[in-house]
Each structure stands twice: as C-alpha cells, then as structure tokens.
Structure 1
Amino acid sequence: MTGTPRLDDPHAFIRAHTALMAPPMVPEVELHLAVETVAIWEQTEEALGEMGLPPPFWAFAWAGGQALARYCLDNPAIVSGLRVLDFAAGGAVSGIAAMKAGAATVEACELDAFAIAAIETNAQANGVALTTRLGDLVGTDDGWDVVLAGDVFYEAEPARLIGGWLETLNARGATVLIGDPGRSFLPQDRLERLAEYTVPVTRDLEDREVRQAKVWKYR
C-alpha cells in the first residue's frame, strides 16, 4: 500500500480509500464508501489484518442500516428529542439519519477502531455530532430511549446473544428497531414488521443486485 496514509492515522486512511457518496435509499446522508468493492476489501483487509482488525465493513452501506436510516427520516417522531444508540453502527448511516431526524443524542458503537474513525469522518461530512464508543455493548444498558440495530443477525451465536440483549432493552421500555435484509438468524417469530424497502446492493457482497430490507420491532 505504498503511498497511502499510515495506519496510525485512521481518518486519513479512510478518506484515501473511499469516496464521499450517498447510499441509494438515503440521499440525505453522505458517507465515505468503497468505490470498488473487491479492491478496498483486499487492500484494507491485508493492511488492517496485520493489526488484528476485521474486514472493512464500515466502507459499505449495508441494506439493513439503509432501511433503518430511511425509516428514521420518514418517521422522525420515533427518534425526535430522544437518546439513541446505533449498535454495531458500521459507517453509522442509521445514526446519522437519526440525528438528521431530530434525535437529542446518538451514540454509535463498534468493535473496530477504524469503524469508529469512519463514523467520526462521516458525521463530520454530514454536519452532525455523534458520540462514538469502541467496544462490545451487549449486556449494557445506559438508558437509551431508542436502539437501532442493522444487519446483526448473520451468525448463530452472536445473534442469540444480541437478540437476548435487545429483548431485555425492549422489555424495560426502549424502542428497539431492527433493520434486516433476510439474514439467517433473525428471530422473526418474536418480531413485528414495520416497513419494507427494496435496497440496491453490491453484487460482490450480496450475490444479487437488490435486497428486500425490513424494519422490525419486538412484539
């Protein structure tokens, strides 16, 4: 990766490997996204793999997150004036949308330090202020009014742990909204569908050109 920013400057690294553009379902939001899927995946996975970091999930606007973002913008009362958590935020498309829809505060969490840098870079590009939090918040309850969780039900054991935690937050009164394009481990039997969107996606990532992404809440 000769000529690219050093890995000790994540914000510059992200700007060098992405372009600022709006996801298909959310023209109100601009994100630093991959232009060529395979290229950025190979380049950043090789570089960041040396640091023990996961692949660059932050460089893509995943369908579940876009669905949540669209839902928040179209239904601002769901977040207006409230404290919001954007869980496993990726590039924080849904968290940024929640701020644009009038949320009082948005906290965006991720496990990856470069994802945190992407969230900060994206928030700045959209003129909003998000609080970032690096670490695993499953099992934590900081009193959020609304929890947004996009594309989190794709592996069995994490889905079980995350689902149980989200149900607990829902039971104590938080509004828990899940954005999901048909991942294998979504607990549909315990959910109620609120909205559905046809989201253009990258064939290199999803093996198709569109996904039907739904927004759910617990029954």
Structure 2
Amino acid sequence: MMRFFVLMLGGVFGGLFPNFAAPFPEHFSATYTVTARNMTIGQAKWSLMPMGEGSYRYDAVTFPRGVLALLHKSRRAEHSEWRYQGERIRPLLYRYHRGGKKGRRVEVVFDWGRGVVRNTAKGKTWQMPVPPDTLDKNVYVLALMRDLGKGLRNFEYAIADGGRIKTYRFSFVGEESLDTALGPVETLLIERIRETLARETTFWCAPKFDYLPVKVVHREKDDTTITLRIDGFSE
C-alpha cells in the first residue's frame, strides 16, 4: 500500500472530446486527498513550474495524514527537471527522497549527449544506456496529459525505473462524468496495462484541467485499494 502512496505517488475520443492538440500549461498546482479502506491516509501535491531557459520542474509530494501519520511520519517526494525536445518531454534529472527512520534517496541523471543515465542509490552509482525517448517515472504523467491533448488513445513509454528500462503501457477505456471537490468534471478513463492482473491502476483525466488526473485508483496485490481525489487546482 505504501509503495503506491509514495509514487503517487491515436484517434478521436468522440462524444464530449474533440480531436485537437490542446495547449499544455506552463505551470499548475494540484492537491489530492488519499484514502484507503474508507480512511484518509494522506495528502498529495503535484506541481509544475518553469525554471527558466526552457527548463521545467515537476514535483509529486505525499504527506501521511490521519491514522497513518501516527505510524509513518515521513514526507516523501519525487522531483523531476526536464525540457522539451521538439514536442517530447526530455528528462534531465530525477530525485526521490523518503524521510524517516527508513529514509531513502535516489538520483537519476540523464546524459543525452552520451545516451546514458547515471543512477545513484544506497551509496552506489552506476550507468546504463537509454533509448532516446526514455522518461523518468515521475514525468510520465505529464507525457500522458500531453498525448491525451493530442487526441491519442493508446500510450507506451520507456521509463528509467529501478536501474533498468521498463515499458509502461496505457489504454483509453471510456468516458465518465465525475463529481469532485471542484464540481462535476467530464473525464477520460485511462488504464495502465500490466503483464499481470495482480495490480490495477486507473486514471480519470479531465480535459477541463489539461487532462490532469482528477482521480487515481490503484489496487495492490493484496486487494488494498488506494484512491487519490483532487481537492484543489490552480494555474
């Protein structure tokens, strides 16, 4: 359950959603309530902002709340720095930090001139080659938003994750009107396609908010379900 809490942190859709490339925001801030077993267990904040000279930073931070805060007092954060390569997101730096007694730090530096990434974790540093369109495991959410804005249905991303390259696949599965803390919102349902059905992840992405997920539901191997629901948004 905590694993997802941390990581949290083509064609025409038809009907409500026309086929055009929507402009992508220069910055935004969104907050979410995180629940499990009908209890509030945390709060998440996702934020995008320009850094100057064509670079951006994207942060996804989670804070334990309620009963969980009594057991896990650590703040956990993912930080990405990136820029555009043509119309694609090209990551430059990824950092993960988990505080507390079992703290952990991970850093991934992308060297596109050499076509490699440098991974640092547990006091060790190593390199590995990466394909040209590789993303980090934080900014893929932004890539998903951009591709939805282009009218795409199916998505496949190479992700530098855990010292190796993984393929994240997603597919459009429907449309849904969703009641949120920000009012009723029309959404596209996007599911992550996994080789095993032991875990399931579904995103409710809202055209109104540049296809930002306004709800995320993740089911773990033990059937624990984690839900993120948006409760604040600003640009």
**TM-score (norm: length of structure 2):** 0.28
**TM-score (norm: length of structure 1):** 0.29
The structure with the greater share of residues assigned to strand is: 2
Work out which of the two has the higher radius of gyration on C-alpha atoms and give 1 or 2. 2
The structure with the greater share of residues assigned to helix is: 1
